Amino acid sequence: MMGPSLHLSNVGVTVKGQVLVTPLSLQLEGGLWHGIAGPNGGGKSTLLKAIAGLHNHVGEIALHWPSDRGQIGYMPQLSPFDASLPVTALDFLRMHCDKQPVWRRYRGNPNIEQVIERVSIKGLLSKRLGTLSSGERQRILLACALVNKPNILLLDEPLAGVDKAGREQIIEILCAFKAEGGSLIMIEHDWQILQAHCDTLSWIDGGLQHHDAPDAIFTKINSLHLGLRHAS
* Residue pLDDT, tens place only, 131-153: 898 899 999 999 999 999 999 99
Residue 129 lies in a domain: no
Residue 230: its pLDDT value, please? 45
In 3D, which of 186, 192, 188, 203 has the Cα closest to residue 230? 192
The β-bridge relationship of strands 18-28 and 5-15 is antiparallel
Confidence at residue 164, expressed as pLDDT on a 0 to 100 scale: 92
Asked whether residue 132 is assigned to any structural domain, the reply reads no
> For the sheet containing 183-187, what is the strand order?
72-75, 152-156, 183-187, 33-37, 200-204, 208-212
* pLDDT of 105: 52
In a domain, 105, yes or no: no
The domain total for the chain is 1
Q: Give domain status of residue 199, yes or no.
A: yes
Domain that holds residue 21: 5-70+151-223
Q: In this predicted structure, what is the pLDDT of residue 172? A: 96
Could you tell me if residue 133 is inside a domain? no
Length of the chain: 232
In-domain check, residue 181: yes
Inside any domain, residue 111: no
Residue 196: which CATH number? 3.40.50.300
pLDDT under 70: residue ranges of the chain: 80-82, 98-108, 225-232
Let me know if residue 75 belongs to a domain: no
Q: Quick check: 72 and 150 in contact, CB under 8 A?
A: yes
- Could you tell me where the beta strands, DSSP code E, fall in the chain? 5-15, 18-28, 33-37, 58-64, 72-75, 152-156, 183-187, 200-204, 208-212
